[in-house]
Amino acid sequence: MAASSASTRIAAAFSERTVQVWDIRSGERIAEFDTVFHFGGRRLAIDASGELCVAAGWTRGVKEGVACYQSSSGKVLWHRTDLDETSVVKFSLASSNVWCVTESASMLLDVLTGDTLEEISGFEEIYDSAYSDVRLLEQPKCNYIVRGKQDFTIPRLTFALLDAAIGPTSVCISESGGLTRCFELSSGTERWRYDPAKWNHLLRLWYRPADDAFYGVQWEYNRGCQRGLVRFEQQTGEVQEVCDLSSSWAEVVSSAMDCVVTSAGSVFTLSDGRLLNCLPFPQRDYPK
Protein backbone atom coordinates (compact mmCIF):
# COMPACT_ATOMS: atom_id res chain seq x y z
CA MET A 1 0.00 0.00 0.00
CA ALA A 2 0.95 3.66 -0.36
CA ALA A 3 -0.67 6.77 1.12
CA SER A 4 -0.94 10.30 -0.21
CA SER A 5 0.72 12.84 2.08
CA ALA A 6 -1.89 15.59 1.59
CA SER A 7 -5.08 13.94 0.30
CA THR A 8 -7.27 11.17 1.74
CA ARG A 9 -6.40 8.70 -1.02
CA ILE A 10 -4.37 5.52 -0.76
CA ALA A 11 -3.23 3.02 -3.40
CA ALA A 12 -3.34 -0.70 -2.70
CA ALA A 13 -2.02 -3.61 -4.75
CA PHE A 14 -3.07 -7.07 -3.62
CA SER A 15 -1.23 -9.13 -6.25
CA GLU A 16 0.61 -8.66 -9.54
CA ARG A 17 -0.45 -5.78 -11.78
CA THR A 18 -3.81 -4.75 -10.29
CA VAL A 19 -3.93 -1.53 -8.25
CA GLN A 20 -6.93 -0.04 -6.46
CA VAL A 21 -7.26 3.59 -5.33
CA TRP A 22 -9.40 4.32 -2.26
CA ASP A 23 -10.65 7.36 -0.41
CA ILE A 24 -10.21 6.50 3.26
CA ARG A 25 -12.55 9.26 4.44
CA SER A 26 -15.56 8.05 2.47
CA GLY A 27 -14.53 4.40 2.19
CA GLU A 28 -15.13 4.63 -1.57
CA ARG A 29 -13.11 2.69 -4.11
CA ILE A 30 -12.25 5.33 -6.72
CA ALA A 31 -10.56 3.20 -9.36
CA GLU A 32 -9.07 -0.18 -10.24
CA PHE A 33 -6.62 -0.65 -13.10
CA ASP A 34 -3.74 -2.79 -14.39
CA THR A 35 -0.18 -1.54 -13.95
CA VAL A 36 3.42 -2.74 -14.26
CA PHE A 37 3.39 -3.49 -10.51
CA HIS A 38 5.34 -6.56 -9.41
CA PHE A 39 5.15 -7.72 -5.80
CA GLY A 40 8.26 -7.21 -3.65
CA GLY A 41 10.13 -4.23 -2.25
CA ARG A 42 8.14 -0.99 -2.10
CA ARG A 43 7.04 -0.58 -5.70
CA LEU A 44 3.89 1.51 -5.31
CA ALA A 45 3.51 5.24 -4.61
CA ILE A 46 0.82 7.92 -4.76
CA ASP A 47 1.50 11.65 -4.87
CA ALA A 48 0.48 14.36 -2.37
CA SER A 49 -2.58 15.35 -4.39
CA GLY A 50 -3.73 11.75 -4.75
CA GLU A 51 -3.99 12.25 -8.52
CA LEU A 52 -0.85 10.37 -9.62
CA CYS A 53 0.14 6.78 -8.95
CA VAL A 54 3.57 5.29 -9.75
CA ALA A 55 4.22 1.54 -9.92
CA ALA A 56 7.27 -0.54 -10.77
CA GLY A 57 8.20 -4.04 -11.84
CA TRP A 58 11.46 -5.93 -11.40
CA THR A 59 12.47 -6.36 -15.05
CA ARG A 60 12.58 -3.86 -17.89
CA GLY A 61 10.32 -3.86 -20.94
CA VAL A 62 6.81 -2.93 -22.02
CA LYS A 63 5.17 -5.09 -19.34
CA GLU A 64 7.28 -3.86 -16.43
CA GLY A 65 9.77 -1.02 -15.88
CA VAL A 66 8.38 2.05 -14.05
CA ALA A 67 5.18 3.86 -15.01
CA CYS A 68 2.99 6.73 -13.82
CA TYR A 69 -0.83 6.65 -13.98
CA GLN A 70 -3.77 8.94 -13.35
CA SER A 71 -5.13 7.50 -10.12
CA SER A 72 -8.77 8.19 -10.97
CA SER A 73 -8.69 6.50 -14.38
CA GLY A 74 -5.54 4.40 -14.74
CA LYS A 75 -4.44 6.36 -17.81
CA VAL A 76 -0.70 5.93 -18.46
CA LEU A 77 1.12 9.29 -18.30
CA TRP A 78 4.64 7.95 -18.85
CA HIS A 79 6.42 4.60 -18.88
CA ARG A 80 10.17 4.03 -18.43
CA THR A 81 10.68 0.63 -20.08
CA ASP A 82 14.47 0.95 -19.67
CA LEU A 83 14.49 0.68 -15.87
CA ASP A 84 14.91 -2.68 -14.18
CA GLU A 85 15.70 -4.21 -10.77
CA THR A 86 13.66 -1.50 -9.06
CA SER A 87 13.19 -2.09 -5.34
CA VAL A 88 11.59 1.22 -4.28
CA VAL A 89 9.49 3.96 -5.84
CA LYS A 90 8.32 6.84 -3.65
CA PHE A 91 7.45 10.50 -3.99
CA SER A 92 10.09 12.83 -2.63
CA LEU A 93 9.15 14.66 0.57
CA ALA A 94 11.28 17.60 -0.57
CA SER A 95 9.69 17.99 -4.03
CA SER A 96 6.85 16.62 -6.14
CA ASN A 97 9.15 14.27 -8.06
CA VAL A 98 9.70 10.52 -7.72
CA TRP A 99 12.60 8.55 -6.26
CA CYS A 100 13.31 5.30 -8.10
CA VAL A 101 15.82 3.04 -6.33
CA THR A 102 17.35 0.27 -8.46
CA GLU A 103 20.20 -2.18 -7.94
CA SER A 104 22.59 0.14 -9.79
CA ALA A 105 21.50 3.66 -8.83
CA SER A 106 18.94 5.90 -7.14
CA MET A 107 17.26 8.29 -9.56
CA LEU A 108 14.98 11.27 -9.05
CA LEU A 109 12.44 11.21 -11.89
CA ASP A 110 10.40 14.15 -13.17
CA VAL A 111 6.82 13.48 -12.12
CA LEU A 112 5.39 14.89 -15.38
CA THR A 113 7.68 13.19 -17.90
CA GLY A 114 9.60 10.41 -16.11
CA ASP A 115 12.91 11.98 -17.19
CA THR A 116 15.89 11.51 -14.87
CA LEU A 117 16.62 14.73 -12.96
CA GLU A 118 19.30 13.38 -10.63
CA GLU A 119 21.21 10.12 -10.32
CA ILE A 120 23.15 8.91 -7.29
CA SER A 121 25.17 5.68 -7.45
CA GLY A 122 26.44 3.47 -4.66
CA PHE A 123 23.45 3.68 -2.30
CA GLU A 124 20.72 1.13 -1.60
CA GLU A 125 18.15 3.63 -0.33
CA ILE A 126 17.62 7.38 0.03
CA TYR A 127 15.37 9.12 2.58
CA ASP A 128 14.70 12.85 2.26
CA SER A 129 13.01 15.39 4.51
CA ALA A 130 9.87 17.49 4.20
CA TYR A 131 11.46 20.13 6.46
CA SER A 132 14.95 20.76 5.05
CA ASP A 133 17.46 19.54 2.46
CA VAL A 134 18.61 16.70 4.73
CA ARG A 135 19.04 13.24 3.22
CA LEU A 136 19.90 9.90 4.79
CA LEU A 137 21.80 7.56 2.46
CA GLU A 138 22.23 3.82 2.93
CA GLN A 139 25.39 2.20 1.57
CA PRO A 140 25.74 -1.59 1.28
CA LYS A 141 27.43 -2.98 4.43
CA CYS A 142 28.61 0.50 5.48
CA ASN A 143 27.59 3.13 8.01
CA TYR A 144 24.67 5.37 7.09
CA ILE A 145 25.39 8.89 5.84
CA VAL A 146 23.33 11.94 6.76
CA ARG A 147 23.86 14.93 4.47
CA GLY A 148 22.57 18.40 5.29
CA LYS A 149 23.84 21.49 7.05
CA GLN A 150 25.75 19.13 9.34
CA ASP A 151 27.01 15.96 7.65
CA PHE A 152 27.59 12.91 9.85
CA THR A 153 27.53 9.13 9.83
CA ILE A 154 25.38 6.72 11.83
CA PRO A 155 27.03 3.42 12.78
CA ARG A 156 25.43 0.37 11.21
CA LEU A 157 24.62 -2.21 13.90
CA THR A 158 22.92 -4.97 11.88
CA PHE A 159 22.79 -6.15 8.28
CA ALA A 160 19.73 -4.17 7.13
CA LEU A 161 18.08 -0.79 7.55
CA LEU A 162 14.33 -1.34 7.79
CA ASP A 163 13.13 2.26 7.68
CA ALA A 164 13.97 5.87 8.51
CA ALA A 165 11.97 9.04 9.20
CA ILE A 166 13.31 12.60 9.33
CA GLY A 167 11.70 15.28 11.47
CA PRO A 168 12.61 18.98 11.75
CA THR A 169 15.44 18.40 14.26
CA SER A 170 16.15 14.66 14.30
CA VAL A 171 16.29 11.46 12.28
CA CYS A 172 14.99 8.12 13.51
CA ILE A 173 16.15 4.76 12.09
CA SER A 174 15.26 1.11 12.69
CA GLU A 175 17.39 -1.90 11.85
CA SER A 176 16.53 -5.54 11.27
CA GLY A 177 16.63 -7.52 14.50
CA GLY A 178 18.04 -4.52 16.28
CA LEU A 179 17.55 -1.13 17.84
CA THR A 180 15.54 1.91 16.88
CA ARG A 181 17.71 5.02 17.33
CA CYS A 182 17.20 8.78 17.12
CA PHE A 183 19.95 11.30 16.24
CA GLU A 184 20.10 15.09 16.36
CA LEU A 185 20.45 16.63 12.91
CA SER A 186 22.43 19.60 14.24
CA SER A 187 25.28 17.52 15.70
CA GLY A 188 24.83 13.84 14.86
CA THR A 189 24.55 13.06 18.57
CA GLU A 190 22.49 10.04 19.49
CA ARG A 191 19.44 11.36 21.36
CA TRP A 192 17.90 8.02 22.42
CA ARG A 193 17.64 4.37 21.54
CA TYR A 194 14.85 1.82 21.91
CA ASP A 195 15.64 -1.84 22.42
CA PRO A 196 12.44 -3.85 21.77
CA ALA A 197 11.71 -7.23 23.30
CA LYS A 198 13.58 -10.23 21.91
CA TRP A 199 12.55 -11.21 18.36
CA ASN A 200 10.95 -7.79 17.77
CA HIS A 201 11.90 -4.87 15.54
CA LEU A 202 10.30 -1.78 14.00
CA LEU A 203 9.22 -2.36 10.39
CA ARG A 204 8.05 1.16 9.49
CA LEU A 205 8.63 4.65 10.87
CA TRP A 206 6.81 7.99 10.43
CA TYR A 207 7.15 11.47 11.90
CA ARG A 208 3.95 13.18 13.10
CA PRO A 209 4.24 16.99 13.45
CA ALA A 210 1.00 17.31 15.48
CA ASP A 211 2.72 15.96 18.58
CA ASP A 212 6.37 16.14 17.45
CA ALA A 213 6.68 12.36 17.75
CA PHE A 214 7.85 9.36 15.76
CA TYR A 215 5.51 6.42 15.17
CA GLY A 216 6.40 2.88 14.17
CA VAL A 217 5.03 -0.60 13.60
CA GLN A 218 6.61 -3.13 15.94
CA TRP A 219 6.56 -6.73 14.76
CA GLU A 220 7.41 -10.00 16.51
CA TYR A 221 9.21 -11.43 13.51
CA ASN A 222 10.06 -14.94 14.73
CA ARG A 223 6.40 -15.95 14.97
CA GLY A 224 4.92 -13.30 12.68
CA CYS A 225 1.86 -12.73 14.85
CA GLN A 226 2.18 -9.88 17.36
CA ARG A 227 2.12 -6.48 15.65
CA GLY A 228 1.36 -3.04 17.05
CA LEU A 229 1.57 0.71 16.53
CA VAL A 230 3.90 2.50 18.96
CA ARG A 231 4.70 6.17 19.61
CA PHE A 232 8.10 7.63 20.53
CA GLU A 233 8.44 11.01 22.23
CA GLN A 234 10.89 12.77 19.94
CA GLN A 235 13.11 14.30 22.64
CA THR A 236 13.30 11.43 25.13
CA GLY A 237 12.27 8.30 23.24
CA GLU A 238 9.59 7.51 25.80
CA VAL A 239 7.52 4.78 24.17
CA GLN A 240 3.76 4.32 24.26
CA GLU A 241 1.67 1.54 22.73
CA VAL A 242 -1.09 3.06 20.59
CA CYS A 243 -3.07 0.09 19.24
CA ASP A 244 -2.89 -3.55 18.21
CA LEU A 245 -2.35 -4.32 14.50
CA SER A 246 -2.15 -8.10 14.65
CA SER A 247 -4.71 -8.62 11.84
CA SER A 248 -2.48 -6.69 9.42
CA TRP A 249 0.63 -7.51 7.42
CA ALA A 250 1.29 -4.03 5.96
CA GLU A 251 0.47 -0.46 6.99
CA VAL A 252 0.63 3.12 5.70
CA VAL A 253 0.11 6.43 7.46
CA SER A 254 -2.21 9.08 6.02
CA SER A 255 -1.07 12.53 7.17
CA ALA A 256 -4.22 14.13 5.81
CA MET A 257 -6.45 11.90 7.94
CA ASP A 258 -3.91 11.57 10.80
CA CYS A 259 -4.40 7.82 10.81
CA VAL A 260 -2.81 4.47 10.01
CA VAL A 261 -4.41 2.16 7.42
CA THR A 262 -3.82 -1.59 7.59
CA SER A 263 -3.89 -4.28 4.92
CA ALA A 264 -7.05 -5.62 6.57
CA GLY A 265 -8.78 -2.31 5.78
CA SER A 266 -8.87 -1.00 9.36
CA VAL A 267 -8.26 2.73 9.81
CA PHE A 268 -6.96 3.76 13.26
CA THR A 269 -6.35 7.29 14.55
CA LEU A 270 -2.73 8.02 15.44
CA SER A 271 -3.67 10.12 18.45
CA ASP A 272 -5.39 7.38 20.45
CA GLY A 273 -5.63 4.24 18.30
CA ARG A 274 -9.40 4.54 17.89
CA LEU A 275 -10.99 2.60 15.00
CA LEU A 276 -12.09 5.29 12.55
CA ASN A 277 -13.25 3.32 9.54
CA CYS A 278 -12.99 -0.08 7.89
CA LEU A 279 -12.38 -0.26 4.15
CA PRO A 280 -13.93 -3.25 2.37
CA PHE A 281 -10.74 -4.53 0.81
CA PRO A 282 -9.48 -6.78 -0.57
CA GLN A 283 -12.78 -7.28 -2.38
CA ARG A 284 -11.60 -10.35 -4.26
CA ASP A 285 -8.53 -12.50 -4.73
CA TYR A 286 -6.47 -11.73 -7.78
CA PRO A 287 -4.79 -14.51 -9.78
CA LYS A 288 -0.99 -14.62 -9.65
For residue 116, CA distances in Å to 60, 62, 100 come to 16, 18, 10
User: Does residue 140 share a domain with residue 109?
Assistant: no
Cα–Cα distance for residue pair 145/184, rounded to 1 Å: 13
Number of domain units in the chain: 2
**Selection from 53, 72, 56, 52 nearest residue 64 by Cα:** 56
User: Does residue 129 share a domain with residue 117?
Assistant: no
pLDDT in tens, 45-91: 999 999 999 999 999 999 999 999 999 999 999 999 999 999 999 99
Q: Torsion angle of alpha carbons 92, 232, 145, 45, nearest 10°?
A: -20
Within a domain: 19: yes
- Final residue belonging to a domain, choices 80, 96, 121: 121
Domain that holds residue 109: 1-121
pLDDT in tens, 182-235: 999 999 999 999 999 999 999 999 999 999 999 999 999 988 778 999 999 999
User: Does residue 153 share a domain with residue 240?
Assistant: yes
User: Does residue 221 share a domain with residue 170?
Assistant: yes
User: Does residue 68 share a domain with residue 55?
Assistant: yes
Q: Torsion angle of alpha carbons 135, 19, 253, 149, nearest 10°?
A: 10
User: Does residue 101 share a domain with residue 151?
Assistant: no
DSSP string, 187-234: T--EEEEE-PSTTEEEEEEEEETTTTEEEEEEEETTTT--EEEEEEET
CATH of residue 193: 2.130.10.10
CATH of residue 39: 2.40.128.630
Within a domain: 184: yes
pLDDT in tens, 269-283: 999 999 999 998 766
- Final residue belonging to a domain, choices 106, 121, 136: 121
- The whole-model pTM stands at 0.94
User: Does residue 6 share a domain with residue 117?
Assistant: yes
